[in-house]
Every structure is written in C-alpha cells, then in structure tokens.
Structure 1
Amino acid sequence: MLVVIGVVAALGWHLTRPGAADEGTRPPVSALGAGTRMGPVELRTADLDALRGFYTEGVGLSVVSQDDREVILGVDGSRLLRLVAAEAPADDPGQAGLYHSAFLFADEAALAEALLRTARVAPTAFQGASDHRVSQAFYFADPEGNGVELYVDRPREQWRWQDGLVVMGSAAIDPNAFVAEHRGRAATGPDAGAVTMGHVHLRGGDLAQAESFYADTLGFAVTARSDGALFLAADGYHHHLAVNTWSSAGAGTRPDSLGLGSVAVHVAGSGELDALERRLTGAGLAYERGDGSVVVHDPWGTRVTVSVAG
C-alpha cells in the first residue's frame, strides 16, 4: 500500500519558456571543463542524530565516517553530505544560504523508493514536485528546514537548447502516481542505484553579483534565467548550481547560523585549478591555493572549495 506523500505545492518559481528550439543549438561553453561535478555540501546542525536519520533512513545515504561532532554521508563511499554539529541561530531564509541540496538518482525506480522512504520517515516534509522538462524533481525539507531535492534526469538527447539556454519548465507531478508507476521496476545500466550531488541551489542577495562570481570568475556558464533566479553549469549539464533572490534580495554577508556551511566543486585536473587561480587573481579576489584545491568565498561569505576529483 502506498503512503500518500501529500498535495503538490507550488514551487514559488517559474522558468521562462522559450519557443521551439533550433535543432543545431548547443549548450554554452564553460571555463570549467569536462568532468566538472558538485562535491559534498556541508550542513551545520543543532541535532546531528535527527539529520543523520533523515538522510540515511529517508534519502538513502550511508555513513562513510562519523564521530561525536561530524558525520560524512554518501553512496558507495562517495561523499555527498557533511553534517557538522554547531551551536548557532537557526538559518534565516531572508539571508543568503542554502535553498536546496539536490540528490540525483540514476533511475526512476531508485528515486521512487527514496520518495516512499522519505515520506515514511518524515510525513510532513514534502513540499512539492515539478517536471522541469530536463528532469523530474521532488522537494522536501529536512528536520531543520534545509531544502532537499530528490530528482532524476531525462535523457540528454531530450533536452532542448535555444540561444545557448536550456528550455526548462515547471509542470506539476503527482508524486503518488510517480511512485506507483516506477516502484519495484528493475534498474538497468552501469550506474543503476547510483546517487550523486546533482546540483546545489543557493539563496543570494543579487543576481548580477552571482553571475560575476559563479560564471565570470569561478567558470560556470549561464544555462537558464528566470524571474529572480540564475542557473549555471559546466560540461553541457542543465545546471550544477543555481542562485535565487526570492526571499533574500539585498542580503549581505551571511551571519553565523545553522544550515549551509560550505559548497564543493570537483574538477578533472590541476590545470583547471591553475586557470581558476588566474581568473581569481584577475578579479582581485582573495583565495587559498592548497594541495589539489582552491578555496574562495562567494559574495555572501559562503565557502566554496574547488578541488581535483579523487
């Protein structure tokens, strides 16, 4: 018997819908090259046990390592989420921070199981669902209110690009129908059962500042724009990163709080870090170059670590 997930809620945003795409239109070229992907998101939490339970028993992550102050979660040893115990005020949605961490499932069957588990573990956590044309996405809030997206991509050959931007939308999905259709189907392919940090969606104070930092300097390409939001990616993906100002327009440097601690980006090789270092120097931004990594802070003080994938 299916657990009723809930009534689909409005997502609070809508992407501009372009007209028919030209057949030859291709994704924009990014300074960050092939193999770029998102690394683990760090969350600061007042209740380590509650968040660990939500992400393991619901989302389906496994404990990679843990101690009294920190839990690393992932899939098959790959690190996707870092939970750090902290004493700080609650996250303020009016400030810059995390809108959601988005966990990408390799197939609909695995996603359906995760939706059912999460609904059982946290019956009131469901916030909405949307067909974005490039993906099918389901939205939750974890026990401390951090946004969580569980999604599956449509095949890349079905994505449409127009004038260098990906065509996306926001049509409603019946979550119960999705679970009923896909639950229990055998997953196929070499990545069956895999889960990755598909993208990270942030709250920011200004979209022009976001584009200057994340596109012009960090090296992502702009792949979509909407009213109050910017979407960016590398290597022809629909988006690895997004920034919106829906609740945080005009926000300045983030105060100390629970919620987002840091964001990580993995790149293919040290040459990517050398090029990033040159862009950061040209932009006059402070950064730290370590062994296989570059650490910089975005315009609102969020720590961004770019490192060579292990």
Structure 2
Amino acid sequence: MTSSAATADHLIDPAAASFAASLNHQSISGRPVDQLLPAGLTMGMVTLKTDNVSRLRGYYEQALGLVVVAQDGPNVILGRAGVPLVGIEEARGLKLPGEGEAGLYHVAILFEQAADLAAAVYSAVRHDPTRFVGSSDHLVSEAFYFQDPDHNGIELYVDRPRDQWQWGEDRQIAMGTIYLAWDQYLNNHLTEEAVARLRTAPASVGHVHLQVGDVATAEEFYVRDLGFEKTTGLGTMALFVSAGGYHHHMAMNTWNSTGVGPRRNTLGLGTVDVTLPRGEGLGAAEERLASAGRTAQRTDRGLEVRDPWNTLLVLTEAEAPAVRMSGAVTD
C-alpha cells in the first residue's frame, strides 16, 4: 500500500466487522482450498539488481539495521535474526527503470512489535531523512515509506491484530489511508531497548507491491492461475491478494504504469520469492499454471514463473511449515 491507496469510507463495512474472526485462515473467496495457495504461505526474499553493491548494501545495513545472512563475491543477502529479507546482486551495464515501467513498487518489511518498527524508522530517518516519503495508518497496519539509493520503494510496517481487521459482506477487507505522524509514532513507541536490538529484532517480508500494466490481467495471473485470493481492489487502479486470509501478500497497481508492457532487463527488481509450507501446494500450483498455459519450470531454486510483465517469481518450500507473525502492535 502507499499514500495513494483507498479511503476507509470506500471499503469499510462495520456491520461485517466480525467476518475476519470466522475466517480461521480458510478461503475468503469461496473457492475450494485445493485451488488456492496454502494458508501457511509467506513471502520470501526480494532480490535487487544494482550497479553499486556497496552503496545499496550500506543503506540497508546502516539505515535499516539489516545484517549479512550470506555472501557470494559481491552479491549479498541481508536480513534479520537469520531470516533473508533483501538480496543484492551486482549487475553491470544496465540502466535504472523508468518511473512508469513495470516492476517493483515497494518491498514491505514486517516487524513483530511497534517498538521495533519505531526503531527502524528512527534509524532510517536519522541516516538520511530525504529518503523518507510518507506514512499511513492503513486500518490493518501502520506503515512508513522510504526509497533506497536506487529508488526502490521500501515499506516498514507492523500489523494490527487480525481481530481488528474488518471485512465487508463482499468478502473484501477494509484498508484505508489515514495520516500517521511519524514523530508522534516514535514518541509513543520508541524505546532504548528497541534501539539497542535494531540489528537483532525479528522481521520478515510481509508483502511485495508491484507496478503492472493493467489490473484485470494481473488478477487472471495471480488469482485465477497462481492461486492467491483477492482481498480488495480499487477498480482498474490496484489489486490486493493473499493466502490464508492475510490482508495482502502481494499487490499490483497501475498508478504510474497504465498500459505498460513487459519489463526490460534493468536494474531494480530481480526476483520475488514465495515460500510455501513443506509438502503443501507447490505441485498443485505447478499444475494450475500448466493448465492455464503459463510457462513454469523447476530449477534448483524452486518453481520459477514469470508474470505477464516479466517479473520472476520463485516458489519454494519451507524447511518447516511456515507460520505468520502474530500481528500484534503492542510493545
């Protein structure tokens, strides 16, 4: 999500506020669960291509407190508490994508506690305040937005508890854009303990938001063929999808990119990893994609498939069943 998203009045239905409690992480669309990606799905690492690894790595380490999880020559994987979040790969001779091209809108890093989110925001603002681009209360989450030195979008956020999410009778979730003052948020949540654990506090990739050419084509691929469920949409402007009743694991918008075609080979987004629980859903996803005429192949990384805009998704299985964070915002 971003500050251009929907207003709360457009989506909210207070009469159906208890719908979320009845989901029990099952299908929200009414489709048989064997046609869906598994409820235990989580987003994995997002890989970025850059022509200046040291500059980009320095930002994620110094501003956001990420640490090295693995390294291979100049290429590095950064994360928190051993969990890979961002991969940075050297790519020479490529140009940055234009603002209106398909690709990454932002990668969203999810924190378990409001204090840890506040510490990351505090660190990022202190490191370079010019890279802070906004903040919003989205009803399901509280979020702060930045841009890295290569102009890749970053969201830092914390979820509200699931029992506070509101679902309409149309089975769409209420998400809005309400002004969230970053300085007041830090005053309310920042602690010395959270600042001290900046590099060790757990975090994960909560969702990935893409720029695409049109929403209808995105829905055909991500919902009908891949197996996500639509959680809400903004007409022809944006689509939000998830597995297991989460507010969104992925989103696609056309705010800057209406009608754009497949991505060029540029700097910026490399791959988006999607992690399924071991033994759940990978084969079924492969069969759905094949039945829909989508080209997918097994590699040593997992099941690879490109969306209609040439964004590479890599579906893998977790070492153990994936478990989503609790979503609490209390310190």
Same fold (TM over 0.5): yes
TM-score by length of 1: 0.91
Deviations 1:267-295 (A, max 9, x none): 01334111111101110111102468211
| Bigger Cα displacement from structure 2, 69-78 vs 233-242 | 69-78
Q: CA deviation at 1:142?
A: 0.5
Superposed, 1:1-310 pairs within 5 Å as: 11-15=3-7, 16-26=10-20, 28-29=28-29, 31-87=36-92, 88-162=94-168, 163-184=170-191, 193-227=201-235, 228-290=237-299, 293-310=302-319
Count residues with an aligned counterpart.
297
RMSD: 1.8
Q: CA deviation at 1:170?
A: 0.3
Q: How far is 1:186 from its partner?
A: 5.9
Give me the whole-angstrom Cα distance separating, in 1, the residues matched to 2:259 and 2:4: 19
Unaligned runs of 5+ in 2: 195-199, 320-331
Q: 1:176 to 1:23 in 2, by over 3 A?
A: closer
Structure 1: gaps spanning 5 or more residues: 1-9
Q: Is the 8 A contact 1:63 1:73 kept in 2?
A: yes
CA deviation after TM superposition for structure 1 residue 185, in Å = 6.9
Alpha-carbon distance in 2 for matches of 1:211, 1:64:
34
SS at match of 2:130: coil
Could you tell me how far apart the structure 2 residues matched to 1:44 and 1:246 are? 23
2:137–2:180 CA contact under 8 A, matched in 1: yes
Q: Secondary structure of 2:16's match?
A: coil
Residue aligned with 2:144, SS: strand
Cα distance between partner residues in 1 of 2:293 and 2:178: 42
Shift in CA distance, 273/85, structure 1 to aligned 2, threshold 3 Å? same
Distance 2:81 2:201 in 1: 10
**C-alpha distance in 2 between matches for 1:62 and 1:255:** 30
Q: TM-score, normalised by structure 2?
A: 0.86
Identity %: 43
Deviations 1:24-82 (A, max 9, x none): 52451560112100000010112111111111111121111224431101112111111
Per-residue CA deviations over 1:72-115 (Å, capped at 9, x if unaligned) read 01112111111011121112121100000000011110111101
Q: Aligned partners of 1:153, 1:103: CA distance in 2, in Å?
A: 11
The answer to whether the 8 A contact 1:273-1:293 is kept is no
Distance in structure 2 (CA, Å) of the matches to 1:281 and 1:202: 23
Provide the C-alpha distance between the structure 2 equivalents of 1:23 and 1:244, rounded to a whole number of angstroms.
26
Question: Runs of 4+ in structure 1 displaced over 3 angstroms?
Answer: none
Q: Is the 8 A contact 1:58 1:117 kept in 2?
A: yes
